[in-house]
Structure 1
Amino acid sequence: MASYRDLLRTPGVGRIIAAQLTARFPNGMTSLAILLHIEHVTGSYGSAGLVLAATSVGQAISGPVTSRWMGLWGMRKVLTLTTVLCAIAITTLALVEMVLPAYMALGLIAGLTTPPIQSAARTIYPKLVNSRQLSPLYSLDASLQEIIWILAPVLITFVATQAGTVPALLLIAAILVGGGSWFILSPEVGRVRIPRSRRKLGRVLAKPPVLMATAVGFLLIGACSAVEAGVVAEFDEGGLEAGLILAVFGIGSLAGGLGMGHRPISPWSMARRLLIVTIGLATTMFALNAWWLGGSLIIAGIGIAPALAVIFAMTSASVKFSETAEAYGWIGTGQLIGAAAGSAVAGFLVDGVGHVGAYAAAFGFMFVGLIVSIVFVRAFPDLRHRDPSPIPDTEPVETIT
């Protein structure tokens, strides 16, 4: 913990972490709020699912695109524009009754304009700390983001059930604007300029570490989404037990990230951390009660934030600074697709064989991730004695002869 205290004493670090967590807090609320609101308005979960799917498609497309735009037009311009447009889309979704295609169009716009806060923050981090502190900073970031997934769904469910779905969506818009403004106006955002990338969109995926980070992120988040579907299905669609067990899952991840954040990252670090997750998820299929399931998910959770920290660090160390935002955008898109795939596969298996099917799907996703991290271990960089900061961009220099 001493290393984290030193890290947070570094000028700007605490402010950026707090601001980006606040700005990203709606990420843990929006999907659930849209689902509840559209179901309330239309009386159909199928219609709500279509609107939510449109939103997810928009988010998947926007990740690498808006992240790349920050190198063209600057962080503040892109973040301000997307924040304003996203808040308008969510507010309109809340206040205006319309036909289903119009709701889907608004959901798509809300997804396309989701501010690339995560890509911006992780692009800024290497400019705030020295190379020795960068890996612990990524670990701290991966750990603290669990706060979003622990608290946000509980808060938005409480507001939606007690005050209504319209106030819930308006609350999201308010946090989006307030948290986004805090982050955008932070001095560090103004000081860091991302150079314009000279490569075509998507070329960064040709780098093996970025491709592996995207693939592993897809499988890891897919496993987490399948677990969530199984827990909700087992405990009466989101009862008290479901909320507590999912909170325990997040707490395990938070503890694991803080506990392993100081450890050097080797090519085998990803495999070791995914092994912990895989073992924990394997035991969920034999859970006899809520206590067993909670214990299994604590074990699984211990490896999640540390694995995400490896993803962030290996990406940073493998690309030029001008490519970092786009790379993180692709990783975010992979995780979004993984979340959708995990939920979909788990949903079909729940209908077919019950909640155990969802836990089996989660284990399957994670087992594949473990195999990938072992088979392609050479694609994972060795950062034990290496600066994990991005590769500096170089420009040709004119000389007089």
Structure 2
Amino acid sequence: MAGYRELLRTSGVARIIAAQLTARFPNGMTSLAILLHVEQQTGSYGAAGLVLAAASIGQATSGPVTSRWMGIWGIRRVLTLTTAVCALTLLILALVPMGVVGYMVFGLFAGLSTPPVQSAARTIYPKLVNARQLTALFSLDASLQEIIWILAPVVITVVAIQVGTVPALLLIVAILVGGGAWFILSPEVGRVRIPRSRRAFGTVLGKPVVLLGTVIGFLLIGACAAVEAAVVATFGHGGIEAGIVLAIFSVGSLAGGLAFGHIPMGSWAMARRLTIVSVGLAAAVFFVDELTPATPWWVSACLLLAGVGIAPALAVLFAMTSASVKFSETAEAYGWIGTGQLIGAALGSAIAGFLIDGVGAPGAYAAAAGFAIVGALVATLFVRGFPDLRGRDASPIPDTEPVPLIT
């Protein structure tokens, strides 16, 4: 922990971490709030699912695009524009009654205008700390983001059920605007300018490390999404057991990220960390049949183990991307990785849902384990594609251009 204390004492680091976590807090609330609001307005979970699908498609599409815009128009301009449009769209969703098609259209706009705070923050990090601290900073960031997934769903569910879905959406708008303003106005954001990329849009996805990162992110988040569906199917909606088990899953990730943050990242780091996730999820398959909602402890223990590998794997993902692309391409690279994660979340949830209907909750746990095992196999088979960051600077490759010579 001494290393993290030193890191947080570095000028600007604590402020940027806190600001970006606040600005991203709505990411853990918006989907659930839209689901509850549209279901309440239309009386149909199917309609609510269509609206969520539209929002996810918009977010997956816009991630690389808005991230690249930050190198053209600047971080503050892009974040200000997207935050304003997203807030206005959510206000319309909350306050204007409409049909399913209307909700889908504005859900799509909400997804398209999601501020690329995550890409911005991870692009700024290398400018805040020295090379020795950068991998630890990525680990800390990957760990602390679990706070979003532990607290945000609980907060928005309580508000939506106890107060109403309209106040829940208005709360999201308030946090979106307040947290976004805090991040945008932070001095560190103003001091960092992302160079304009000279390469065509999408070219960075051709880099082996970025492509690997996108695939690994797809598989890892697909596993997490399948776990969420499996836990809800196992313990039901009526009690608190599902929430407690998922919170333990996130706590495992938080603890793993903090514990492994100081360990140097070699080429095999991703494979080892995904193996931990695979073992924990595979073990859950064998215990779920023997459980009732009153005895969730074995599943909790399995998911605690699986969670230990998640934040450390994400930390490797962020660090290897940073170390392998030019600074002008980092934001777009993180945008593509985010798109892979969103697609993984959608596919993981869908596959788990079909398996729950067909064979029950064990099928969803098996799907989650399958995603993780494939991820570990990919990391093993393509281990040469992962950079060895032990004793190496994880900062992005500097952008260079020809220097005119006087002869």
How high is the TM-score relative to the length of structure 2? 0.98
Q: 1:36-115, aligned counterparts within 5 Å?
A: 36-115=36-115
Q: Which residue of 1 aligns with 2:370?
A: 364
Q: Does 1:304 align with 2:338?
A: no
SS at match of 1:285: helix
Q: Which residue of 2 aligns with 1:234?
A: 234
Kindly state the Cα deviation for residue 226 of structure 1 after the two structures are TM-superposed.
0.2
Tell me the alpha carbon deviations over residues 251-271 of structure 1, each in whole angstroms, 9 at most, x when there is no partner. 000000000000000000000
C-alpha separation in 2, matches of 1:364 and 1:165: 36
Tell me the alpha carbon deviations over residues 101-159 of structure 1, each in whole angstroms, 9 at most, x when there is no partner. 11101000000000000000000000000000000000000000000000000000000
Kindly state the Cα deviation for residue 386 of structure 1 after the two structures are TM-superposed.
1.0
What residue ranges of structure 1 are gaps of 5+ in the alignment?
none
Q: 1:273-292, aligned counterparts within 5 Å?
A: 273-287=273-287, 288-289=290-291, 290-292=296-298
Structure 1 residues 41 and 187 mapped into 2: Cα distance closer, same or farther (>3 Å)? same
Q: Aligned letter for 2:21?
A: L
Q: Which residue of 2 aligns with 1:336?
A: 342
C-alpha separation in 2, matches of 1:238 and 1:219: 30
Q: Aligned letter for 1:317?
A: A
Tell me the alpha carbon deviations over residues 231-279 of structure 1, each in whole angstroms, 9 at most, x when there is no partner. 0011113630000000000000000000000000000000000010000
Kindly state the Cα deviation for residue 391 of structure 1 after the two structures are TM-superposed.
0.1
SS at match of 2:195: coil
Q: 1:2-401, aligned counterparts within 5 Å?
A: 2-237=2-237, 239-287=239-287, 288-289=290-291, 290-401=296-407
SS at match of 1:259: helix
Runs of 4+ in 1 over 4 A off after TM superposition: none
Q: Aligned letter for 1:400?
A: I
SS at match of 2:17: helix
C-alpha separation in 2, matches of 1:261 and 1:373: 19
Q: Aligned letter for 1:321?
A: F
How many percent identity over aligned positions?
74
Contact 1:278–1:363, Cα closer than 8 Å, also in 2: yes
| Matched residues, number | 401
CA RMSD of aligned residues (A): 0.6
Q: Aligned letter for 2:19?
A: A
SS at match of 1:90: helix
Contact 1:217–1:335, Cα closer than 8 Å, also in 2: yes
SS at match of 1:286: helix
Kindly state the Cα deviation for residue 304 of structure 1 after the two structures are TM-superposed.
0.2
What residue ranges of structure 2 are gaps of 5+ in the alignment?
none
Kindly state the Cα deviation for residue 283 of structure 1 after the two structures are TM-superposed.
0.6
Kindly state the Cα deviation for residue 397 of structure 1 after the two structures are TM-superposed.
1.2
Q: Aligned letter for 1:304?
A: I
Kindly state the Cα deviation for residue 396 of structure 1 after the two structures are TM-superposed.
1.3
Kindly state the Cα deviation for residue 385 of structure 1 after the two structures are TM-superposed.
1.9
